[in-house]
Amino acid sequence: MKPMHNVFPFTAIVGQETMKLGLLLNLINPRLGGVLIRGEKGTAKSTAVRALADLMPGLNVVNLPVSATEDRVVGTLDIEHAIRQGEKRFEPGLLAAAHGHILYVDEINLLDDAIVDALLDAAAMGVNTVEREGVSHSHPAQFILIGTMNPEEGELRPQLLDRFALSVEVSGEKDVPSRMEVIRRRLAFESDPEPFRQRYGQDQMLLQERIVQAKELLRQIEPTEEMLEWTANIGIRLEVDGHRADITLMKTAMALAAYQGRTRVLPEDMTEAAMLVLPHRMRKRPFEDQIGGVEELRQQLGNLLTEGAHVT
Ligand SMILES: Nc1ncnc2c1ncn2[C@@H]1O[C@H](COP(=O)(O)OP(=O)(O)OP(=O)(O)O)[C@@H](O)[C@H]1O
């Protein structure tokens, strides 16, 4: 089990607002479909993941190392035992351990494709099925999938990118005061974790309450015809492939509304959601463009929504 006193508080992380939002939305709706965090080394990615689990009692992080074999991930069926004894014997893997928790895959872009496929399937279905020579075993595997990667070390296949609900870009702080604050907080935490954690105790409690309340509000949100039309039009106008993006966009906007304490989804929720859902799915990905790509997307979405987003 995690040593609580060792965890850097979520609310003490300096900046990185988009990453934090992407993580929190998955806490509000654990069936959202996970988040892919892309960016350079040392930008609080793993710190944020551990801190996320620390926010909610009983939530743990299960690490999936790049070196893990497929058997270790999905579990193993003992076929010889099944033949000899006529009964199934299943050795659970990491997907079973992650049920009800967070599955954290650092450097997901370096993971074997077959394993990535298996874990994205399980994440989507909420069930892990292992088949060997006509014998199969299934068990629940509902987890929040969080993948991190440094794009300089290789990309994920587009088919796999599309299976992550959200994607966020992280980079180091560029201004001196923020960088100073990162150092200050880290040193204070390392020199004496407990008082540091206490200093953020109130903020942590407020955030935890906000998440609990958002979960409750989310249950009350129904997608209206207008919201469905916005979403469908965004999908068409921005030329995303298939329907997965539309569905995720709707779910994300609903989680965002709940996080803002509302049961009504507003156009700004759609824009905000689109910034997390679409960049990694568009045929021409904004983050591959020069400066302005993501901002252009934001502007395009703003125009779409104010126009009423009608496609002629
Ligand atoms: N925005 C931030 N706020 C607070 N601490 C930060 C921030 N960014 C980095 N740090 C600190 O920098 C160190 C590195 O962060 P971390 O280990 O989370 O990086 P990472 O993004 O997971 O990198 P890697 O890909 O190398 O594992 C940690 O000590 C962390 O506390």
The tens digit of pLDDT for each residue in 49-89 reads 999 999 988 899 999 999 999 889 999 887 777 677 777 78
Q: To test the ligand 1 pocket, which listed residue (107, 186, 187, 196) has its Cβ within 8 A of the most ligand atoms?
A: 186
Question: What average pLDDT is seen over the chain?
Answer: 86
Tokens 């690490």, located at residue: 63
99 CB near ligand 1 (under 6 Å) = no
Q: How confident is the model at residue 5 (pLDDT cuts 50, 70, 90)?
A: low
Which has more confidence, 16 or 310? 16
Q: How confident is the model at residue 155 (pLDDT cuts 50, 70, 90)?
A: confident
Average pLDDT for residues 249-260, to the nearest whole number?
96
Q: Is the dihedral of CA 256, 260, 263, 267 positive or negative?
A: negative
How do the domains of the chain map onto residue ranges?
A: 4-170, 219-307
Pick 4-170's CATH classification: 3.40.50.300, 3.40.50.720, 3.10.20.600, 3.50.50.60. Answer: 3.40.50.300
Average pLDDT for residues 248-275, to the nearest whole number?
93
Q: What percent of the chain has pLDDT over 70?
A: 91
Pick the most confident of 71-80, 258-267, 303-312: 258-267
Q: What percent of the chain has pLDDT over 90?
A: 51
184 CB near ligand 1 (under 6 Å) = no
C-alpha 76/C-alpha 215 separation (Å) is: 35
186 CB near ligand 1 (under 6 Å) = yes
Question: Quick check: 173 pLDDT over 90?
Answer: no
Q: How confident is the model at residue 9 (pLDDT cuts 50, 70, 90)?
A: very high
182 CB near ligand 1 (under 6 Å) = yes
Which of 72, 244, 285, 298 is the catalytic position?
A: 244
Residue 186 CA, closest ligand 1 atom number: 31
C-alpha 53/C-alpha 61 separation (Å) is: 6
Average pLDDT for residues 89-99, to the nearest whole number?
91
Q: Which residues contact 255 (CB under 8 A, 6 or more apart)?
A: 25, 28, 29, 32, 214, 218
Residue 105 phi, psi dihedral angles, 5° rounding: -115, 100
Report which DSSP code applies to 30. Answer: T
Q: Give residue-wise pLDDT tens across range 20-35.
A: 999 999 999 999 999 9
**Nearest alpha carbon, ligand 1 atom 28:** 44
Question: What per-residue confidence (pLDDT) applies to 4?
Answer: 52
Question: Quick check: 292 pLDDT over 60?
Answer: no
Question: What per-residue confidence (pLDDT) applies to 86?
Answer: 73
| Tally of residues, the chain | 312
CATH number for the region 219-307 comes to: 1.10.8.80
Nearest to 302 by CA among 271, 272, 279, 277: 271
Asked whether the beta carbons of 135 and 77 are under 8 A apart, the reply is yes
Q: Is 298 a catalytic residue?
A: no
Question: What per-residue confidence (pLDDT) applies to 285?
Answer: 53
Q: Give residue-wise pLDDT tens across range 205-240.
A: 999 999 999 999 999 999 889 889 888 888 888 777
Q: What is the DSSP string of 136-198?
A: EEEEE---EEEEEE-GGG-PPPHHHHTTSSEEEEE----SHHHHHHHHHHHHHHHH-HHHHHH
* Two tokens, residue 34: 């996970």
Question: Quick check: 284 pLDDT over 90?
Answer: no
Q: State the distance from the centre of ligand 1 to the C-alpha of 98, rounded, in angstroms.
A: 23
Strand extents, DSSP E, the chain: 35-39, 61-63, 76-77, 90-91, 102-106, 127-132, 135-140, 144-149, 166-170
Q: How far is CA 307 from the centre of its chain?
A: 31
